Amino acid sequence: MTPHLHRPLDSETATMLRIVLRPIIDGATHWSGLTGDLDRKGYRLGFRDGRMLIVDDYSGEAISTGSAIGAPLSALSQRIGRPPLRMSGDGRSAVLRCQA
């Protein structure tokens, strides 16, 4: 497994992500709705090495894991089901099929 999936977050950025994104993730009832809601805020989800990543749409960089902001993939999957993933050619990363 890759030791660093994203650059470490400073506490202010981590707090901002929790404030802005946690309500969206916590309120999601399906993956396509979550995708649209995150897109409107300038973020998308990525998946690598079994972890859900928060990706900044502007830079295309993974900025956090779901777990780092208190929204682990396991809890989200339990609540709304397994994510519909499309694997990339590297066999280690994926994107949601319902996102562009």
pLDDT tens digits, one per residue of 25-74: 999 999 999 999 999 999 999 999 999 999 999 999 999 999 989 999 99
3-state secondary structure of 42: coil
Say if CB 34 and CB 44 are below 8 A apart: no
Please give the pLDDT value at position 8. Answer: 77
Instruction: Report the SS3 class of residue 72.
Output: coil
Find the length of the chain.
100
Rounded percentage of the chain residues whose pLDDT exceeds 90: 74
Cα–Cα distance measured from residue 96 to residue 84, given in angstroms and rounded to the nearest whole number = 6
User: pLDDT value at position 80?
Assistant: 96
What was the pLDDT predicted at 4? Answer: 61
pLDDT of residue 2: 45
Please answer whether residues 24 and 14 qualify as being in contact, where contact means their C-beta atoms are separated by less than 8 angstroms. Answer: no
Domain boundaries, the chain: 11-96
